[in-house]
Chain A
Amino acid sequence: MSGGVLLQAVVSGLSVGAVYGLVGLGFTLVWSLTRVLALAHGDIVVGSVLVAVLVIVGRTPVALSPGVAHSIGLVLLALVAGVLLSLAAYAVAVRPFLDRGQRSEDVLGWVAGGVTTGLVVRTGLGLALPAAAYAVPDPLHLDAFTASGSVRLPGGGSVAVRSFGVLAVALVVAAAADWFVRSSHAGRAMRAVADDVDAAALCGVPVGRVVLIAFGLAGLLAAVAGLLDVPGRSVAVDSGVVLGLAGAAAALLGRLGSPRGAVVGGLALGVGQQLVGAWPHLGASWAPIVPLAALVVVLAVRPGGLRAGRQVAAE
C-alpha cells in the first residue's frame, strides 16, 4: 500500500469514524443512564434525516443542492425529528421495562422493545420510500468548498472535501456534547444518575427528567450524525441498523459509558475500516464487515466495556 493510498484511507477513515463516534456517543449516554442498549439508535440516525427529507423534498428526493430556506428547514426538522424519535423510543420501548430506580430490570422486554422500535421506524419509512436506495440533498453543503468537490492529498491520493467538513462538524458537536455532560447543570445531574441512581434520587435529582434530557440529547446527536452521514452516500431505509451497530462498537471500543471514549473508539473504527478496504489483498467488499466484526469480537474478548453492568447484576 503506497503512502498516498494510506493517507487517503486514514483521512476518509477519520471522517467515517467521526460519525460512528457521534452515534456511539448517544449510545453510551443511554447506557450510562439506564443500563439499556439503544438497539433502535441507528434507525433514529437515518430516520430523522429521512423524515425531514420526506416533509421538505417529498417522496422522490434527488441529491441536488437545496436552497437556503430548504437547507435550514431540513436541518431543523431533522434535529426535531431526532429528538422526538428518541423520546418516543424511550417512552414506548424503554420506560415500561425499567424499575422504579430507572434501571433495566426486564432485559427481554427492553431488547424486544428496542428491536421493535427500530423495525417500526424502518418499515414505516419503507412504506413512504420504497426504492432500494436514495441519494438525498445535503443541507450542510459540505462539498461546496471546492469546485471539484474533492481535495488532492500529498502522495497522489484524493478525498472528497466533505470528509473534512464531516470530521470538523462531528468533532465540534462531540466536544460540545462532552462539555454539556461535564459542565452544565443538567450534565452534572446526568453524571450523578449514571454513577449511582439511588444516591442521585436521594439528593433530590429529578431522575426521570434527567433521563428524558439524556434521551433528547442522544436523539439530537443522532440527527447530527445522520445529517453528516446520509447525504454523502446512497442510503436505504435499512442502512441505519448497521450504522447503529457500528456506533455500539465504537462505544464499546472506548469503554461503554465514556463519552470521549466513544468518539475515540469511533475514529479508530473508521480508520480501521478504511484501511481494511484499501488493503490490496482484502478490498472494498471487506469494509462493511469491519464494524460488525469489531462489535462481535469486542464483546467476545473485551467485556470490560460492560463491567459496570455486571456488577449491578451480581450485587
Chain B
Amino acid sequence: MRTFATDLYLLVAAYGLALPVSYAGLPVLGQGAFVAVGAFGTLLLAAHGTPLLVAVAVAVAVAAMAGYLAGFAGARLSGASLALATWGLAWLAYAVLVQFPAVSGGSQGLVHRTPAQLVSPSLGLVVTLQPWVHALFAGVVAVLLAAMLWRATSGPWGLDWSALRTGPALADSLGVPVQRRRRSLLSASAGLGALAGAGTAVLVGVVSPTDFSPLLSLQLFVAVLVGGTASWWGPPVGVGLLAALPSASDGISSALNVDPLRARAVLTAALLVAALTLRRPVGEVVRRLLARLPARPMDEPPTVSAPDRSSRRVSSPLLRMSGVQVSYDAVRALDGVDVDLSSGEVHALVGPNGSGKSTALRVLAGVVAPDAGVVEIATHPAPRPGAAAPRVRAGVVRTLQRTATLGALPTGVQVAVGARAQENIAFLGVRHLLATPVSRAAAVARRQATAGALDLVGLGDRASVEVARLDSSEQRLLQIARAIATGAPAVLLDEPAAGMSRRQRDNLVRVLRRLAAAGHGVLLVEHDMGLVGRAADRVTVLAEGRVLATGRPSDVRQDPAVRRVYFGDPDLGSRPTAEEQTTT
C-alpha cells in the first residue's frame, strides 16, 4: 500500500509536469527540483514546529511561486532556454541539498514520525495518516486532474494551450496571452510537483538528497513524454512504467551484480530512448485512430449561421500614425510618415523596395517602436510595443507571413483560437470545466464568430479540413479569417496576394471588399498594382521613408511626382506583379 501511495504521488507530479510539457509543448527538465522543495520544505517546517498542513501549504506555495518566476525567466525566451534553465534548476537544487546539510539533514536526511497525525484541538479531531489515507488523497487528486485535463481540452484553455504548443508567435499575434498562459502552467506544474513531494515525505517519513537527484526530473520527463501530445492518459502509462523500474532494476542488479541505482539509471535511459524513438510513430497511430472517431465538440464544423455583418457602419477612425520616424542603425526607414485607417475602407501602402512600407506596417502593428511620432488606435494612444494581446483587444490585428500556421490543427480550430480574443469573461476556463451556462453561451458565441470569419473569407465549408489540405491561397485566406475572428476591426495584411494566381487574386479582391463592407478597415502592403487598383479605396505611396502621395487609386496614378519618382512608366496597371519582387 505504501509503494502504491508513493506511485500515486508520482502520478500527481507527472500530471503537473504534463501541463507545460505535453499541453503547452514547453521542455521542462526540473520537476524534481519542485518535488524536492515540497518534500524538504514540509519536513523542515514541521521540524520547527509548524503544523503539518500549514507546512505543506507553505511548501506548495513557495514552489508554485518559484515555478511562476521560472516562467518569467523562461517564458520570455524560446523553449530552448527554458530547457536549459529548468535543467540547471534541477542540478542547482540537488547541489544545494548536497552542499548544505542544514537544509537536507545531511546524509541522514530529514525525518518525520510515521504515520503522521493531523491534530485539531478545537474540533477534538485526530486523523492518523495511514498509507491508505495517502493513497486515497493522491488517487483523488490524480483522478480530478485527469478529468480536468480531459474536459479542458475541448474548452478555452485547450484552445489556448494548443495554440501555445503549435505556434507561439502566431498565437501571440492573435491576442492569446502567451506569456501569462505559460507562467500559470509552469506555476501550477511546480505547485503540483511540490504537493507530490510533500505527500511522499509525510508518507515515508524520511527524505534524503539522493531521492531527489536530477534523475527524478528526467524520469518524470520521460513519464510525460511517453503519452505524447496533450493526452490525459499519458501520465498514468508513464508512471506505470516508472513504477515497474525499481523491481526490474533490482532484478537486473542482482543478476549482473551492479549497483541498483546504476541499474535504475540504465533503465531510465532505455525508457528515454524508447519514448524518443516511439514518440512520432505512436503519435501518428493515435492521430489516425482519433481521426476515425466522431469529432469532438470543438472540432465540429460550426453550424450556427453567421451574424449579419453586411450593414455598412458609419466610417470611424480605427488606426492612425503621425510624424513617425524609425531608424535602423544609420538608415532612416521612416522619416515623418502619417498613415491612417478608417472602418469600411481598404487602404493600400505601396512603394518601391526599401521605401519603408513594411516598417510602417510594423509600427502600426506594434512590432517596431517608433523613434518619434505617435500611434493611435481609435483615437486613443496605442499600447506600447510588446505582446500583441492588448493591441488586439484595442482593435488592431496583423497577419504573419504566409507559412505561419498553428501546426496541424483543423481550420475551424485555428480560427476559434482567434475568436478567443473576443471573450472577456473572468474564469472562463474554470467555468468551462463546470459547464456553466456562461461558458456554454461563450462557446456558442465562439462558434458564431468562427463561422462568421470563415464565411467572410469564403472558407465556410472548410472548417473541419486539415490545414495541410488547403492550397496556398486558401491558407492565405485562413490567415485573414484567424485575424478577423479576433473581432479587431483594423486588419493589417502584409502582401496577402503573394504567390496567388490571377483567379485567386480576383477572389482575394472580393474578400477584401466584403471585409470593408462588414465594417472592417483593411491596411495592406501590396506590390500588385492591378489588385490595389481594384481592391483599395485609398492608396498611400511611400518613397525613401516619406509619403509621396495619398488618395484614390485613380488620382494617385495620375500624380506626376509618383510617376516620376516611383514608377517611371506610363501605366501603373501593367507593372510586373509581386512574384519577381522581394519584400523589403
Contact = CB atoms under 8 A, between A and B. Distances in A.
A292 B95 contact: yes
Interface string B200-233: 0000000000000010001001000100000000
Interface in A279-313: 285-286, 288-289, 292-293, 295-296, 299-301, 303, 306, 309-310, 312-313
Interface residues of B, number: 46
Contacts of B77: 299, 303, 306, 309-310
B259 A130 contact: yes
A313 B81 contact: no
Specify which of A37, A116, A285 lies most central, judged by the most chain B CB atoms within 10 Å of its CB: A116
B313 interface: no
A130 B9 CA distance: 31
Contacts of B27: 107-108, 111-112
A310 B92 contact: no
A223 B522 CA distance: 58
B92 A296 contact: yes
B47 interface: no
Interface in A75-123: 104, 107-109, 111-113, 115-116, 119-120, 122-123
A111 B401 CA distance: 27
A35 to B, nearest CB: 7
A309 B80 contact: yes
Interface in B81-99: 81, 83-85, 87-89, 91-92, 95-96, 99
Contact of B80 (A35, A293, A314): A35
Specify which of A109, A123, A249 lies most central, judged by the most chain B CB atoms within 10 Å of its CB: A123
A39 B272 CA distance: 15
A136 interface: no
Contact of A107 (B80, B95, B266): B80
Contacts of A301: 73
B142 interface: no
Contact of B276 (A107, A113, A123, A285): A113
Contacts of A120: 269, 273
Given A119-B272, A292-B92, A241 B214 contact: yes
**Chain A binding surface, main DSSP class:** helix
Contacts of A108: 21, 25, 27, 79, 225
A245 interface: yes
Nearest to A301: B73
Given A108-B225, A109-B276, A109-B279, A123 B266 contact: yes
Interface size class of A (residues with CB under 8 A): 35 or more
Contacts of B72: 300
B29 interface: yes
Contact of B81 (A109, A127, A285, A303): A303
A167 interface: no
A248 interface: yes
A39 B214 CA distance: 14
A180 to B, nearest CB: 25
A104 B218 CA distance: 21
B92 A289 contact: yes
Given A112-B221, A315-B401, A37 B84 contact: yes
A299 B84 contact: yes
Nearest to B273: A116
Interface of A: 35-37, 39, 104, 107-109, 111-113, 115-116, 119-120, 122-123, 126-127, 130, 241-242, 245, 248-249, 285-286, 288-289, 292-293, 295-296, 299-301, 303, 306, 309-310, 312-315
16 contacts: A107-B25, A107-B83, A108-B27, A109-B279, A115-B87, A116-B276, A123-B265, A123-B266, A127-B266, A242-B91, A245-B91, A248-B88, A292-B95, A303-B81, A312-B78, A315-B400
Given A37-B84, A39-B84, A310-B77, 19 more contacts: A35-B80, A36-B80, A107-B25, A109-B276, A111-B83, A115-B218, A119-B268, A119-B272, A123-B269, A126-B266, A130-B259, A248-B88, A285-B99, A289-B92, A292-B88, A296-B89, A299-B73, A300-B69, A310-B78
